[in-house]
Structure formats: structure tokens, C-alpha cells
Chain A
Amino acid sequence: MSISPKEYDNDFPIAWCPGCGNFPILKAVKQSLAELGLKPHEVIVVSGIGQSGKLCHYMRGNFFNGLHGRSLPVATGIRVADPSIPVIVIGGDGDTYGEGGNHFIHALRRNLNVTLITHNNQVFGLTLGQASPTTERGFVTKVQSHGVFLTPFNPLAMAALMQAPFVARGFAGRLPHLTGLIKEALQVKGFSLVDVLQPCVTFDRVHTFKWYEERVYDIGEEGHDPEDMTSAILKSREWGNRVPIGVFYRNKKTTSFEDQLAPLKKGPLKNLKLDPSKAAELVETFL
């Protein structure tokens, strides 16, 4: 039973640049939650630091806006406390794949049941325009003054290789498509990644909305089989004249982290009564 996305509106002033690719992502997040009938107090948004990290302030909802790069560990603890509440993790490319790169690897290994939405604009916005882990080779910044010569990180290939349940890429310029991806991701049991191509209107004069509009296409419409990992990985390497978006990989044969934890089978841990006298049996073992 869907609700109005307006339920998610708040009046906190938005500090993003006019025309920023973050606006449509915010809209897509609100829209997909509303379509799933979730009320603001029934969902938790966890975010880090960077322009993306502010997203949770611009909508209603429970939120934990933590440290740079550390959203996935915070989300892990939140899921342990109560796996009945859906968790969205919002991060940027620097936040998720740079500072938090290790946690990204291990959240994939855990198959944590969260939806990770990465605002991937291939640049550091908040610190005014340095290269990020996903910046294309050759891109010149004030720090990478000879152009980036490091290999860009490929989050889709890694997630597919780790057999994540849901691996997708959206584009901030295609709102209904992106909303559909986020909605599907939220219904997946296990780790879901929605990497979102998002033009930085201030620091990237190359990858503009127009640049993407001319290149993006949905791989589903061209016969890609999302159960085929090899094909998903190969597709994730396509970049240039054509830029693929859509569902790259699906894996239904997984068990989430939360479902493997025996104490959670009794229901949310936070609801279980605490009884200190139960520790008596432990004390006995030291006699």
C-alpha cells in the first residue's frame, strides 16, 4: 500500500549546488520508499561524509549520519539490533569505495541485508574537486595535475564477482528507471548495490547530464542475462561511447548475514528482556 512521497518532505534547507545530481537521487529514494508503503519512522538511512552524506537531513526518516567511510559497519550493528527495519546506506564514491573500501569488501562477504546507494560522480565535491577512486584515467584536477593514472575502481564487477544478490547501476538523469532499481533493491534479501552515475555540475565539465544522456542505455533492453556473472563483469567494463545502466547481476541463492545469526531467530534483539541472574550458570564454570 503506497503512501505519498510528500510524507518524506521536511523543511531543512538544502545545501547542494543548484542542478546537482543529488536532487534526483533524493527524489528517487523518497519515491521508492513511498511506493513500498514505508513510513518515515519505519526506515533507517545511514550515511557518511561528502555531499551524499547530507541526503538523510533533507528527508524525514530515522537516520544515522556517521563518519566518513564508516556507514556500512554502523549499518551492520543496526541490522543486528533489529533486522525488521529496512536500512538504506547512502555514500559517495570516495566515502564508499575509498575511505570505506575495506568495509565495502566485507559487507559483500557478509551479505548484509541493506541497500547501498552510491552517488558516483567520480570526483570529490566537498573538498573541492580531487579525483576519487572511480575517476577516469587522464582526468586532470588541482591535485592530479598530470591527470589520473590510477586504474579506476569497478564496484559493479567486484559486487558481481562476490555474488551479491543485486547489483545495479542507475543514472540520476533517468528518475523513473532509478526509482525502479531502488525499489527492487529494497525488496532483495541480502546485499543490494545501486551505483548511481551522477554528474557533478561544478567540478566535472566533461561528464555532464548531456554527456550521459547521449550514452546511457539499459542493458536489460539489449538482452543481458543478469544471472550471468561473466557477462555482468564484462558489461561493467564498458565505458566511452556507450554507458550501460540497469540490473547487471542477480543472485537469488544466497543467505543474508542476519539470517545466519542464531540469536536473531527469537525476534529483534532489542525486544528481548535482560535478566542478569541468567549469568549464574557462567559464574559456576569458574568454581
Chain B
Amino acid sequence: MPDQVALVPFLVLAIAALGGAVMVVASRNVVHAAFWLLEVMMAVAGLFMLLSAGFLALVQVMVYAGAVSVLVLFTVMLTLRRREDAVRSLDLKWSAAGIAAAVLIAAFAAIASFAPELPKAPAATPGVEAFGVALFTSWALPFEIASVVLLVALVGAVWWAGGGDK
């Protein structure tokens, strides 16, 4: 894969994403973990840019880096009674590590089996304009369903989070 995309930016972003992910799981403070999650999202957005998915990179920055991290921070701060509650034990379990390692080995086996069949990537790909045209023509029905899903989630979230006091 890295022979088609620029190698040095790919390595930098990959290390940033992986290191951030490790820090999300490893940091003792929930607020620190939320900020490391933000860093992972930005790195993944950069990887989308490398894969010539500019629109997705934009959406990634807006939705994840903007909305989701703010939402996570809000919830963290609303559910902490004391400042010390943010710092917690590491909560590491060997059984979870075993399951994750098994999934990882299976994924690597799958990659090794079908990676040689991947065709070479063409130099040019359709841009944002083609993405938009296809989104509103052949992908219009999933688009509408997605908007309904978001509406239902919005109403449900408001109902769950705010309905109790009234």
C-alpha cells in the first residue's frame, strides 16, 4: 500500500494515529484520553487526504474533531463530581488483551492472503464534485435514510438526557 501513496507523510500520520490510540487506552485521566482521541481523529483525517478522499477528510474534521470530541468532553465534565474522579486506574484486563490479539492475528492473516491481489491504484481519482453528484443521484436513498437516522438519534438523545427532570 505505501508504494502508491507518499511514504513519508503516510508513516508520520500512521505513527501519530497509532500512538494516539495507545494513549487513549493508556492514559489514566479521562480528559486526557478525550484529547488523545481528538489527535487520532485528526491523524485519520490526514490519512483520508493521502487516500485522495478530501471530502471525507473534511467531514472527519467537522464531525469527529468538532462535534464528537466536544460531546465526549461535555459528558466527562458533567459526570465528574470531583476533579480527582477523572484520574482512574488503568483497567487493563488480560482476557480483553487476548481477544484483541486474536482479532489482530486474524486480520493480519486476511490481509496477507488477499493483499497481492490488489490492483495498482490509478494516479487520478474523481474529486469532490463527482462525489457530490453521485451522492445525490445513485446514493440518494441511503442519504435520505441517513438523515432520518440522525433525526431519530437527535430526538432520542434529547429525550434520554433531558427528559428526567421535568
Q: Verify that A and B bind, or say they do not.
A: no
Interface residues of A (CB under 8 A from B): none
